[in-house]
Chain A
Amino acid sequence: MFVRWSTAIAAAILLSGPALLQGAIAADKPTDPQIAHIAYTAGVMDINAAKQAQKKAKNKDVKAFAEDMLRDHEAVNKQALALVKKLNVTPEDNDTSRTLSKQASDKLAELDKLDGAAFDKAYVANEVAYHKAVNGALETQLIPSANNAELKSLLQTGLKIFQGHQQHAEHVAAELK
Chain B
Amino acid sequence: MKPGRLTSIALAVVLLPMVVPARAATMEISMENLVIVPAEVSAKVGDTIEWINKDVFAHTATAKNGDFDVTLPPKKSATLVLRKAGTVDYYCRYHPNMKATLKVEP
Residues of A whose CB lies within 8 Å of any CB of B are: 68, 71-72, 75, 78-79, 157, 160-161, 163-165, 167-168, 171
How far, in angstroms, from A169 to B81 measured CA to CA in the complex? 31
Query: Could you tell me if A68 and B74 are in contact, using CB atoms closer than 8 angstroms?
Result: no
Please name 8 pairs of A and B residues whose Cβ atoms are closer than 8 Å in the assembled complex, sorted by A: A71-B58, A72-B94, A157-B33, A157-B34, A160-B95, A161-B95, A164-B96, A168-B96
Which of chain B's residues have a CB closer than 8 A to the CB of A160?
33-35, 95, 97
How far, in angstroms, from A164 to B96 measured CA to CA in the complex? 5
Report, as a range, how many residues of chain B touch the other chain: 10 to 19
Least Cβ distance of A28 to chain B in Å?
A: 29
- On whether A164 and B95 interact (CB within 8 A), knowing A72-B57, A75-B56, A157-B33, the answer reads yes
Cβ contacts B7-25/A at 8 Å (1 or 0 each): 0000000000000000000
Q: Identify A164's interface contact among B56, B74, B98, CB under 8 A.
A: B98
Query: Could you tell me if A161 and B57 are in contact, using CB atoms closer than 8 angstroms?
Result: yes
How far, in angstroms, from A161 to B94 measured CA to CA in the complex? 9
How far, in angstroms, from A13 to B94 measured CA to CA in the complex? 23
How far, in angstroms, from A171 to B95 measured CA to CA in the complex? 11
Least Cβ distance of A66 to chain B in Å?
A: 12
Query: Could you tell me if A164 and B33 are in contact, using CB atoms closer than 8 angstroms?
Result: no
Q: Is B52 interfacial (CB 8 A cutoff)?
A: no
How far, in angstroms, from A25 to B95 measured CA to CA in the complex? 31
- Known pairs A157-B33, A160-B97, A167-B95 / 15 extra A-B pairs, C-beta < 8 Å: A71-B57, A72-B57, A79-B56, A160-B34, A160-B35, A160-B95, A161-B57, A163-B95, A163-B97, A164-B92, A164-B94, A164-B98, A167-B96, A168-B95, A171-B96
Least Cβ distance of A169 to chain B in Å?
A: 10
Least Cβ distance of B52 to chain A in Å?
A: 17
Least Cβ distance of A154 to chain B in Å?
A: 10
